[in-house]
Amino acid sequence: MGLKMASNCYSCILDRAKFECDLLFSDDAEKMAAMEELLDFMVQHKGMVPSVVGNEREEIMKRRSKNPDPYREMKAESNRVATALLPLARKFYDESEDELEALIRIAAAANSMEWGVKGHDFEVDSFEDVFLETLKERFDGDLEEARRRIDRFEKILYLTDNAGEVVFDLFVIEKLLEMGKEVIIAPKTGPILNDVTADELRAMTDLPIEPTGPVIGLSLEKVRPELLGLLKDEAWLVIAKGMGNFETMTEFDDFLQGRLIYVMRAKCEPVSMKLGVPRGSLVVRAV
């Protein structure tokens, strides 16, 4: 059963809308018009998956601001900060007795790089101070089953999430390749929130890329046939980063049973409740 709108999703979605309005518009009338258009949509589409409502919010903001990539500067700054922190992640990995657990911890801790989520504090300037502590936090979930699956599968489809975070994902993927794995990376087709796009990722790596689509999380209706083929191929393990992928993929993850691993920080209450963990937890969940 997927994740539907909870009562606190409404205020969270509107909070991010206000965050984006302040980013994109100087005139309060423009901000109100954008917020009211989103409110109208929410009234007419009750009970949807939160990320679907989020997609509509992003379309409203882009159309009204005539800015196709509102988070462009934030994404670039996140990548700069993450690149500066990468030596800490490498050191953490090199000094870990359990290298695979260290990799999963790095992947989950990096998912903290997110703006505009109600109740989740992220400041790019202070991330360095908390990153090492984040790496050492307790994990909720199926670490041993994730280990078994990564050992068992030779092919891995790696669904990315945010910019900044992807710098650490590329380090994780580098180590998976050293283990002899074949990895295809699946970023977004084009700009949505602060998620890394295919073009941005191609500037960072020569590894194979298969974009997922232009929406928050993953939509089977909007996904390219090439990626759908990979998702349905039982030879591929799927590692899905972040809450957007979790929100959307729980709607259809039945056919991925036994070969899907969600990795994230559970930043909001509905997601943490669905997972059965305290909000803010680092989570690895094998499905």
Least confident of 1-10, 63-72, 138-147, 188-197: 1-10
In a domain, 1, yes or no: no
Are 55 and 122 in a shared domain? no
Are 105 and 163 in a shared domain? yes
Confidence band, pLDDT 50/70/90 cuts, at residue 76: very high
Residue 250 has pLDDT above 60, yes or no: yes
In a domain, 124, yes or no: yes
Q: How far is the C-alpha of 267 from the C-alpha of 279, rounded, in Å?
A: 6
- pLDDT at residue 8, as a whole number: 86
Residue 261 has pLDDT above 80, yes or no: yes
Least confident of 80-84, 122-126, 178-182, 266-270: 122-126
Are 31 and 163 in a shared domain? no
In a domain, 177, yes or no: yes
DSSP the chain: ------HHHHHHHHHHHHHHHHHH-SSHHHHHHHHHHHHHHHHHSTT--HHHHHHHHHHHHHHHHT-S-TTHHHHHHHHHHHHHHHHHHHHHHHT-S-HHHHHHHHHHHHTT--SS-TT----TTTHHHHHHHHHTSPEEE-HHHHHHHHHH-SEEEEE--BTTHHHHHHHHHHHHHHTT-EEEEE-BSS--TTBPBHHHHHTT--S-B----SSSS--TTTS-HHHHHHHH-TTEEEEEEHHHHHHHHTTTGGGGTTSEEEEEE--SHHHHHHHTS-TT-EEEEE-
Cα 123-125-131 angle, rounded to 5 deg: 80
- pLDDT at residue 115, as a whole number: 46
CA 115 to chain centre: 12
Least confident of 29-33, 184-188, 246-250: 246-250
pLDDT digits (tens, 9 = 90+) for 145-202: 999 999 999 999 999 999 999 999 999 999 999 999 999 999 999 999 999 999 999 9
Are 136 and 218 in a shared domain? yes
Are 177 and 249 in a shared domain? yes
Domain that holds residue 28: 7-65
In a domain, 70, yes or no: no
In a domain, 72, yes or no: no
How many domains does the chain divide into?
Answer: 2
Q: How far is the C-alpha of 245 from the C-alpha of 218, rounded, in Å?
A: 6
In a domain, 99, yes or no: yes
Mean pLDDT for 199-216 is 96
Mean pLDDT for 251-269 is 94
In a domain, 2, yes or no: no
Structural domain ending residue among the three candidates 35, 65, 95: 65
Q: What is the mean pLDDT of the chain?
A: 91
Are 146 and 114 in a shared domain? yes
Are 106 and 40 in a shared domain? no
| 169 CB neighbour count, 10 Å cutoff | 28
Which CATH number fits the domain that encloses residue 44? 1.10.8
Are 46 and 96 in a shared domain? no
What burial letters (b/e) apply to 179-193, b meaning 16+ CB within 10 Å?
eebebbbbbbbebbb
Are 59 and 132 in a shared domain? no
The answer to whether the beta carbons of residues 184 and 157 sit under 8 Å apart is: yes
In a domain, 102, yes or no: yes
pLDDT digits (tens, 9 = 90+) for 90-144: 999 999 999 999 999 999 999 987 544 444 344 556 667 778 888 888 889 899 9
Residue 5 has pLDDT above 60, yes or no: yes
Are 100 and 231 in a shared domain? yes
Residue 25 has pLDDT above 90, yes or no: yes
The answer to whether the beta carbons of residues 61 and 75 sit under 8 Å apart is: no
Mean pLDDT for 236-265 is 95
Are 111 and 21 in a shared domain? no
| Reported pTM | 0.93
Are 12 and 126 in a shared domain? no
